Amino acid sequence: MDILPHRLPTFRANLHAHSTCSDGACSPEELKAFYLSKGISIVAFTEHEIIRTHHRLSEPGLFTALVGYELGFNDVLRLNAEHAPVIHLNLLAKRPELRTHVNFRPEWCWGTPQIWRTEALHNGIVRGRTADAQTINKTIADANDLGFLVTLNHPAWSLIPETLLRELRGLWGFEIYNTSATVNGGSTDASFLYDSILRAGHASPFCVAADDTHLSLPFSHPRCDRGRAWVTLFAPDQEYASVISALEQGHFYASTGPEIYRLQQEKTCFLLDCSPVRSVYLRSAGRRVSSVLAPPEGPLLTSVKLPIKPTMTGPLRLILTAPDGTQAWTNPIPFPPLS
């Protein structure tokens, strides 16, 4: 069984970016040019608190600008005291014409011109912005009803307690890696928190790696937060509808470097073809793990067979690590397989 539709073309997408329309240092045009230079041809412009569309940047077969925005809980109400969680959600529009905001009040749109706030469309339901499970879940439900895919952003940097994390419902995605939080905030990837939300059993959000672009530093600078993380999706083309369909179906993987060419599941194992890596781990919901490690003297791994241990419980997921420390993460794989 193919876990990823490897016969389709692949496209790289950054699903979390800020431009000069909010607190980013690069204009939308500059971001487009930069990402194209790095082989990333799909970018979601997710400004803080308000939708700004950039359809003019889209070029068929070359570049696709996705519509979205980022909501903050606790911080917009100035409740982000030390050690308090700051919950950020990315809302990605499934339709390019979607412009309606959820849980909206003009005064929460910090850093944006008053005219944008006045003109903003919204559904009229104000839930509040305190970071409690009930408020967040109702906001997520409103967003889902309108036609957004909702991702939990940078959970490690946000200091989200596991108790709150396990109560969240309706998430489409979970940022396993956030470049800005890593290079500028010192946060590592959120694998531990991701495993925790998967073990909760009520949802298996997809695994997202994204830049959270803010700075304009050159790519060679260690603090550059552009072009370091992406999702590689499998789709017939990169038209808006095709991208959303691939994302909804989980036909993608998250990466900061390694590439997955083929991933298939047999009854007792996974078969993986990939770019050269030094390790591949198959994690289960419990403690049981399968792994294949390259010997210190080489060669690196490019074709791997990972046994599924009888004691494993789902969902399962794979983690690939390259010699330079960059990683790739698959989406959760149900086990036993769904009939």
Concatenating the DSSP letter of every residue in 132-143 gives: -HHHHHHHHHHH
- Average of pLDDT values for 178-205? 89
Report strand pairing: 10-17 vs 87-93. Answer: unpaired
Mean pLDDT confidence for 62-87: 90
Query: What radius of gyration, in Å, describes the C-alpha atoms of the chain?
Result: 19
Q: What is the pTM of this model?
A: 0.96
Q: H-helix or E-strand containing 194?
A: helix 191-199
- The DSSP letter of residue 62 is T
Residue 337 has pLDDT above 70, yes or no: no
- Rounded Cα distance between 302 and 276, Å, is 5
pLDDT of 48 over the 70 cut: yes
* pLDDT given for residue 111 in this prediction: 85
Stretch 19-41: mean pLDDT, rounded?
97
Mean pLDDT on 152-169: 93
Q: Contact at 8 Å (CB) between 154 and 16? A: no
For 144, phi and psi rounded to 5 degrees? -60, -40
Q: Grade residue 77 by pLDDT with cuts at 50, 70 and 90.
A: confident
Looking up tokens 């979601």 gives 44
Res. 84: pLDDT tops 90: no
In the numeric block, which tokens belong to residue 290? 């399968």
Q: Are the C-beta atoms of 151 and 89 separated by less than 8 Å?
A: yes
| CA dihedral sign, ordered 160, 166, 167, 172 | positive
Q: What is the mean pLDDT of the chain?
A: 95
118 Cβ partners below 8 Å, 6+ apart? 106
Residue 226 backbone dihedrals phi, psi, to 5 degrees? -125, 140
Mean per-residue pLDDT, 231-260: 98
Q: Provide the 3-class DSSP secondary structure of residue 276.
A: strand
